[in-house]
Structure 1
Amino acid sequence: MVQVNFIDVKDDDAIFEGSGWDALVVVATDISQTGFDEVSLLAEHGAKVDKRVGQSPTLLFAPGLAGGRLIISPVKNSDDDVEDVRIFADAARAGIRLAKDAGATRPLMLVSKSADPRYQSATEVAALACGQELWQALELREAKGDLGDFEAIGLLNSSEASESVNAIEAGRILARDLCGTEPERMSAPAFADYCIDAYRDSGLKVSVVEDRDVLERDYPLLSAVGRSSFAVSRHQPRVVKVEYVGEGEIERSFFFAGKGVVYDTGGADIKVAGGMAGMSRDKGGAAAVAGLMKTLSLLKPKGIRVVAELGLVRNSIGSEAFVTDEIITSHAGVRVRIGNTDAEGRLVLADLLSHLRIQAEKAVKPELYSVATLTGHVVRCYGGYTATVENAVAKQDGIAMSIASEAQAWGEPVEQSQLRREDFGKIIDPSGAADILSSNNAPSSVTARGHQYPAAFLLRASGLSANGCMSKMPLAYTHIDIAGSATEGDPLYGKPTAAPLVGLYKHITRA
């Protein structure tokens, strides 16, 4: 079993023995306000003999309740001004971990209601947190077989949460598998194949570009990054194209470019001193977009069209590797001088965005996005948070603000950065021989405005800079850097999060 099935439970009697559930997990800000006297009395009695009850996750012997197990996982500091709905996620993860360790296979979860508007999606966020907690790496599942511990998780007093939670979690599982799997098992061709399998019978339109001549003609910057990988068949680049078209009249259109660098050696500007460790996670942007498309295919929102291009490439080292100082013409016809081969992600995205730009110019109310684990600078600035950088058209439409609002409510907070004129100054080629410079030759983490100015490059290299507010065809474009949020815990091998899948889904399906 890869995915836990979440089930809406409306019957209050489900908390009792014989209901088919084998543990009751209570996620609450106040254990006395759950609405169940049996729970409150047991908790009150338990607190008299164990002071941890109500202060930290605890398991109580509970005759008469589901499975004879009552797990109380308190939500702490809910009145604190700086807290957000992630406190429910934290409590849910701790509670479900305890249920798993106790041997439960069908736990029932009760998430306390709150009048605080910050916590209106607490039940769904808690459920998704359980999915995050229980996910196990694809390599481990394939090596040891079915590792599923839970048959199902019940969501008590929930009438409509399970459908969206199950669909979102299915997308997040796909995203985690794609992002977190090692570079041979999830090479560019394997990534493409995994997507094709995941989308089978989904209704999505899927195609893969793999011919070298086509890639070099239509994706010249991407092909430069993968030039040295063409010599090894299992490492050759791919571009996966995916399209979702909802029922009814299309009212809005969304275009996503996903960075899928399946392994980043740094190329000729090689990563040294252990800097390559964890670089199989440099495909988190493409992974998140792939997962988003899976969720869309399951929930089938009406009136929207979503198009994605995933650029899958290995930044290999070898005699064919591209090098700094080369001048390469992008798909949009912009001559790019390579400033550092380790700034490869923006090259991949630029060609994808150029193709999407052409489609967006003919679309209904289009919005364009790039999603990427792009810079160390964003981690220095914001730690584990996603950052957005938008052009003037998107800013005028309030797109980053909308994403941030939706993502905050669903436990994926986003920081908003501002694109400045200095960012365009950083991509000027001092020699004048090329139209623009891809990057400087220092790590982004020590470069001023290191995560903002790549958006300026992407606008110019993709041709989107011609689609500003004063143009005949304004196009809203938002760059999303997830270098800090794509994984949790250990920065090299921590569990993938699938961010910003949930926030993006809620944004594009908002009323």
Structure 2
Amino acid sequence: MAQVNFVDVLDDNAIFEGSGWDALVVVTTDISKSGFDEVTLLAEHGAKVDKRVGLSPTLLFAPGLAGGRLIISPVKNSQDDFEDVRIFADAARSGIKLAKDAGAIRPLLVVAINREERYQFSTQVAALACGQELWRALERREASGDTPAFEAIGLFNSTQASQSLNAIEAGRNLARDLCGTEPERMSAPAFADYCVAAYQDSGLTMCVVEDRDVLERDYPLLSAVGRSSFAVSRHQPRVVKLEYVGEGEIEHTYFYAGKGVIYDTGGADIKVAGGMAGMSRDKGGAAAVAGLMKTLSMLKPKGIRVVAELGLVRNSIGSEAFVTDEIITSHAGVRVRIGNTDAEGRLVLADLLSHLRIKAEKSVKPELFSVATLTGHVVRCFGGYTATVENAVAKQAGVAANMAHLGQVWGEPIEQSVLRREDFAKIVDPSGAADILSSNNGPSSVTARGHQYPAAFLLEASGLSAHGLHSNKPMAFTHVDIAGSATEGHPLYGSPTATPLVGLYKYMTLISK
């Protein structure tokens, strides 16, 4: 996997010619406060010649500085009450793109220090933004033999940040490849194989479930979604099971269910009028979880155990396709009436969560999460933001609130939604023949509480509803809907973001301590 390589730089002389760096990219809120007299003088002189300096990213001829190239990339509106650390990410992306276009291969990134708490991780967020800017699609890399744009990116005034950032970026790169690649190159079997290769010698425990009899027995809802795909060997479903165990006494255990719908046709409730375009990105949840496990395997945080299941399935159309009105018994023994075959993601997640629930019952301080590009409704509500919906146990523990705090300072903002009694009323089967109804027969985007009530379904269909506040074994569960944040740019074919990998990693390794 081609990715950027970050290097810590502490030597002030690194900004000068002959240091081994060939461009200086300065991200700053004020050109007079770059931290270097040489840079400030050049920038102020440049501003007298070119009014764009300090207002937009500009390249200045800089004899004596690294590579003779000085790129000033201004941070805009830093004093605005409603801005956040992403303004540093925006500036870094613009600056690093300019460096690349100018021919640099070893740029040095300087992020001017800002003392505001909301900008405390501006250097790290800026660095990761460079990785996002420089990622290129796997298909393009394989077809053209593309190599990384840079040999390395130096991080000025960074102490031991590069190891963490390189591991995070390795996970994000894996997640982007898995999410963003077209559905034949990254079919369910190919997705699983790509994970196997990525985790080689990682220390993770991994197995891939591919036998049809086992899948239909242990993952009946998932297998119903993929029923028509079994006829085509390269489209057949897979479940990838992963486990990380840190050194020392385990103090917390985290469980992740990742939705990996390789391609969502809508099934028998077929997507029409161009609605299928971009549906190869419906595997963003599984991709993000897969990337998270890669990062964990590299950084090896102590005292935590992390278990993940990725449900990989193609919602194919055909004579074997499952249909609305069917009643299918979930792994947890809950009889589910299918309300709409295009609401397939919650079916996949429910079986995964049921398996994780059983493991969680015997685990230390368990917390469960589902991560999915689940609903159009979350996009209608929050645009490009991630949303969380949590059960009462998680709410009492402040899970979503803590995730939101970390997401805010690490450039992955989260909106918090609330699960209410009306959400459970929506999943009652009117006929009484089944225990619950998976969905109504309309798109989530035009359904009231369309991204909240699927969490009620997940609780009931997975058996997690038996582990509420007053149960013998309360379990915190948080549903994470990334339908709006899994990609950026073009609405159908934009770049995958790997969200919420950074926030989840920081949550597990910081909040839990």
Q: TM-score range by the shorter chain?
A: over 0.9
Correspondences of 1:52-71 after superposition (within 5 Å) = 52-71=52-71
Matched, 1:455 2:455: yes
Correspondences of 1:52-131 after superposition (within 5 Å) = 52-131=52-131
Offset from partner CA, 1:85-124 (integer Å, 9 cap, x none): 0000000000000000000000001001111000110000
The one-letter code sitting in structure 2 at the alignment partner of 1:82 is F
Shift of 1:17: 0.2
Instruction: Report the Cα distance in structure 1 between the residues aligned to 2:142 and 2:172, rounded to whole angstroms.
Output: 18
SS at match of 1:59: strand
Aligned twin of 2:288: 288
Instruction: Report the Cα distance in structure 1 between the residues aligned to 2:299 and 2:407, rounded to whole angstroms.
Output: 18
Correspondences of 1:242-257 after superposition (within 5 Å) = 242-257=242-257
Correspondences of 1:353-372 after superposition (within 5 Å) = 353-372=353-372
Shift of 1:148: 1.7
Correspondences of 1:464-483 after superposition (within 5 Å) = 464-483=464-483
Aligned twin of 1:325: 325
Offset from partner CA, 1:270-290 (integer Å, 9 cap, x none): 000000000000000000000
Offset from partner CA, 1:299-348 (integer Å, 9 cap, x none): 00000000000000000000000000000000000000000000000000
Return the TM-score normalized by structure 2: 0.99
Aligned twin of 1:21: 21
Correspondences of 1:176-255 after superposition (within 5 Å) = 176-255=176-255
Shift of 1:161: 1.2
Gaps of 5+ in 1: none
Gaps of 5+ in 2: none
Aligned twin of 1:394: 394
Aligned twin of 2:30: 30
Return the TM-score normalized by structure 1: 1.00
Instruction: Report the Cα distance in structure 2 between the residues aligned to 1:278 and 1:146, rounded to whole angstroms.
Output: 24
Aligned twin of 1:51: 51
Instruction: Report the Cα distance in structure 1 between the residues aligned to 2:290 and 2:480, rounded to whole angstroms.
Output: 15
Moved over 2 A (4+): none
The one-letter code sitting in structure 1 at the alignment partner of 2:309 is E
Q: Percent identity?
A: 84
Aligned twin of 1:309: 309
Aligned twin of 2:497: 497
Shift of 1:3: 1.0
Instruction: Report the Cα distance in structure 2 between the residues aligned to 1:80 and 1:96, rounded to whole angstroms.
Output: 24
Correspondences of 1:251-266 after superposition (within 5 Å) = 251-266=251-266
The one-letter code sitting in structure 2 at the alignment partner of 1:422 is E
SS at match of 2:487: coil
Verify the 8 A CA contact 2:140 2:146 in the aligned structure 1: no
Instruction: Report the Cα distance in structure 2 between the residues aligned to 1:52 and 1:160, rounded to whole angstroms.
Output: 35
Shift of 1:183: 0.2
Aligned twin of 1:159: 159
Offset from partner CA, 1:419-446 (integer Å, 9 cap, x none): 0000000000000000000000000000
Aligned twin of 1:429: 429
Instruction: Report the Cα distance in structure 2 between the residues aligned to 1:483 and 1:133, rounded to whole angstroms.
Output: 20
Shift of 1:160: 1.6
Matched, 1:3 2:24: no
Verify the 8 A CA contact 2:23 2:71 in the aligned structure 1: yes
Instruction: Report the Cα distance in structure 2 between the residues aligned to 1:148 and 1:390, rounded to whole angstroms.
Output: 40
The one-letter code sitting in structure 1 at the alignment partner of 2:160 is E
Aligned twin of 1:420: 420
Instruction: Report the Cα distance in structure 2 between the residues aligned to 1:506 and 1:272, rounded to whole angstroms.
Output: 40
Instruction: Report the Cα distance in structure 1 between the residues aligned to 2:158 and 2:208, rounded to whole angstroms.
Output: 40
Instruction: Report the Cα distance in structure 2 between the residues aligned to 1:161 and 1:303, rounded to whole angstroms.
Output: 21
Aligned twin of 2:409: 409
Aligned twin of 1:143: 143
Verify the 8 A CA contact 2:264 2:314 in the aligned structure 1: yes
The one-letter code sitting in structure 2 at the alignment partner of 1:466 is A
Instruction: Report the Cα distance in structure 1 between the residues aligned to 2:35 and 2:140, rounded to whole angstroms.
Output: 41
The one-letter code sitting in structure 2 at the alignment partner of 1:479 is H
Shift of 1:33: 1.2
Q: CA RMSD in A?
A: 0.5
SS at match of 1:155: strand
Shift of 1:242: 0.4
Instruction: Report the Cα distance in structure 2 between the residues aligned to 1:388 and 1:91, rounded to whole angstroms.
Output: 28
Offset from partner CA, 1:26-71 (integer Å, 9 cap, x none): 0001111122100000001000000000000000000000000000
SS at match of 1:14: helix
The one-letter code sitting in structure 2 at the alignment partner of 1:382 is F
SS at match of 2:162: helix
SS at match of 1:509: helix
Verify the 8 A CA contact 2:26 2:110 in the aligned structure 1: yes
The one-letter code sitting in structure 2 at the alignment partner of 1:238 is R
Shift of 1:147: 3.1
Instruction: Report the Cα distance in structure 2 between the residues aligned to 1:163 and 1:118, rounded to whole angstroms.
Output: 23
Instruction: Report the Cα distance in structure 1 between the residues aligned to 2:300 and 2:75, rounded to whole angstroms.
Output: 33
Instruction: Report the Cα distance in structure 2 between the residues aligned to 1:35 and 1:327, rounded to whole angstroms.
Output: 66
Verify the 8 A CA contact 2:285 2:371 in the aligned structure 1: yes
SS at match of 1:230: helix
Instruction: Report the Cα distance in structure 2 between the residues aligned to 1:161 and 1:212, rounded to whole angstroms.
Output: 45
Shift of 1:269: 0.3
Shift of 1:146: 2.7
